[in-house]
Amino acid sequence: MKHLAVAVLGIVMTAMALVPDVAFSANTTATYYHHRFNGRRMANGKVYRPGRLTAAHRRYRLGTRIRVTNRRTGKSVRVTVTDRCNCTLDLSPAAFRKIGRLSQGRIPVKVNIGG
């Protein structure tokens, strides 16, 4: 019986790891990439371009599409996670400008996965 419980737990955990990201939302803060990253390789192996609508996140799968909404203004932008960062959410300058001013530096946002 103990072995059965361990086997079932293993199957459930494996299945959860294989399930793609589904609709989910979270409140956090967003910053934007510093210009020194222009032209460098991202975690997905491609070259970073500041004019594209991309984002870096520490946990979301590379390739995940997310909607980022400024909680103060309601403006939103859809981006693709293409890189990793130590912060909560790092947007390309082009994406950040769609929902706020670069001079703000950091803005409160709501992130929707699959939204």
What is the structure's pLDDT at 94?
97
pTM: 0.76
Six token digits for residue 47: 């070259």
Question: Would you kindly state where each structural domain of the chain is located, as residue ranges?
Answer: 22-113
- 22-113 sits in which CATH class? mainly beta
Query: Tens of pLDDT along 26-60?
Result: 899 999 987 878 888 988 999 989 899 999 999 99
Write the DSSP symbol of residue 61: P
Instruction: Return the SS3 of 35.
Output: helix
Percent of the chain with pLDDT over 70: 79
d(CA 112, CA 110): 7
